[in-house]
Amino acid sequence: MLNATPLAPSPRRPVSPPSIAGDLRVVLWDIDGTLVRTRRQGVFKDYTTPVLVRVFGTAGRLHELSVSGMTDLQIVSEALRDEGFTAEQIRGRATELTALYLEELERLTRGEEVYHALPGAREALEAVERRPRYLNSLLTGNVEPAARLKLRLVGLERFFRLPGAFGEDSHDRRDLPALARERLSRHLGLDLKPEQLIVVGDTPNDIRCARHFGARAVAVATGRTYSTADLTAHDPDAVLADLTDTELVLRILAGL
C-alpha cells in the first residue's frame, strides 16, 4: 500500500481504441465525504426521516445509526430492522423512495446552502478528465437522483456522464463495483476487467467493496468519521489525506 499523505457539461472524450483498451482505467468516485461535504452535520437524516415516515409510517432507529459508507437501501433496512419490514419489502419500494429522496433534498436545499465541494475535488476531476487513460464515473451510496443533485449544487455534475452504481441498486455496497463494471462495459463496448476500476472513497466500506470485486482502492481521509490511520488499517492501495495535491493524485492513479 502507498501511504500518500500530503501535508482529497464537457463533451465526452473518445473511448480508448481496442488496441489500448486494457490500459484504460475508470475512476469510480464516492460523493459524500470524498468530493462533497455538508456544511453541518445531520443533513442526511433531515431529508431521510420524512421520506421513511411517508413511505413506512416510521423512521425506526434512523437517528441512532452511523450511516457513513452505507447505501441508502442499507440505511433504510437498518433503520427499520425492528419495525417488521423485510429487505425485499424495502427493495420493492425503491422507486418510490428514490423519488421522495429527491423531493425532500430539493426542498431542503432550496432554503439552505447545504453542500460544498471539498478542496481539490474539482481540480482532481479536471486532471483525470484531461488524461486519455482515465474516465470518471460514480460509485456512491446515494440514490442516483440525489447524487446528481448534490453534484449539480456544487458544480461538479459535468464530470459524470457515464453510467455508475448507486444507492438504490443494492443493500450491500459490495455489489456496486460489479454493477458499475457491467453498465460501463456495455456503454463503452468494452469488456472491462475488475483491476481496471479504481474506487475512491472515504470509508472502510469503499475499500471493502473494491477488494470484494478485485478493483483498486484509494482512500481519502476527508470524511467526518475516518482518519488516515483508520483507513490505512483496511489496507487500501493508497491513502490520501485529501485531494489538494493534484499531481500526487495523478501519481497514485498512474501506479494502479
Q: What is the pLDDT of residues 58-68, one digit of tens each?
A: 999 999 998 98
CA dihedral sign, ordered 158, 162, 166, 168: positive
Report, as an integer, the average pLDDT of 113-139.
Answer: 97
Quote the Cα angle for 128-249-254, to 5°. 75
CATH number assigned to the domain covering 43-110: 1.10.150.240
CA distance 250 to 150: 25
When the pLDDT of each residue in the chain is averaged and rounded to a whole number, the result is 92
pLDDT of residue 62: 95
* Ranges of H-type helices in 154-245: 176-188, 204-213, 228-232
Q: Which amino acid is at 32?
A: D
Question: What's the grid cell of residue 148?
Answer: 446528481
Asked whether the predicted pLDDT for residue 8 surpasses 50, the reply is: no
Asked whether the predicted pLDDT for residue 4 surpasses 90, the reply is: no
CATH number assigned to the domain covering 2-38+115-254: 3.40.50.1000
pLDDT in tens, 73-116: 999 999 999 999 998 999 999 999 999 999 999 999 998 899 99
Asked whether the predicted pLDDT for residue 189 surpasses 90, the reply is: yes
Asked whether the predicted pLDDT for residue 215 surpasses 60, the reply is: yes
pLDDT of residue 7: 33
Q: 3-class DSSP state for residue 91? A: helix
* DSSP state for residue 190 in the 8-state scheme: S
Q: What is the enclosing helix (H) or strand (E) of 199?
A: strand 197-201
pLDDT in tens, 150-172: 999 999 999 999 999 999 999 99
pLDDT in tens, 9-49: 334 444 544 446 789 999 999 999 999 999 998 899 999 99
pLDDT of residue 42: 87
CA dihedral sign, ordered 63, 69, 70, 72: positive
Asked whether the predicted pLDDT for residue 174 surpasses 90, the reply is: yes
Question: What's the grid cell of residue 256?
Answer: 494502479
- Edge to edge, the sheet with strand 238-240 lists 2-4, 238-240, 216-220, 197-201, 25-29, 134-138
| Confidence grade of residue 2 (pLDDT, cut at 50, 70, 90) | low
The three-state (H, E, C) secondary structure of 49-80, written as one string: HHHHHHHHCCCCCHHHCCCCCCCHHHHHHHHC
How many percent of the chain have pLDDT more than 90? Answer: 86
Asked whether the predicted pLDDT for residue 3 surpasses 70, the reply is: no
* DSSP state for residue 235 in the 8-state scheme: -
Q: 3-class DSSP state for residue 117? A: strand
For the full predicted model, state whether its pTM sits above 0.85: yes
Q: Which amino acid is at 167?
A: G
For the chain, domain boundaries:
2-38+115-254, 43-110
**What is the DSSP pairing of strand 216-220 with strand 238-240?**
parallel
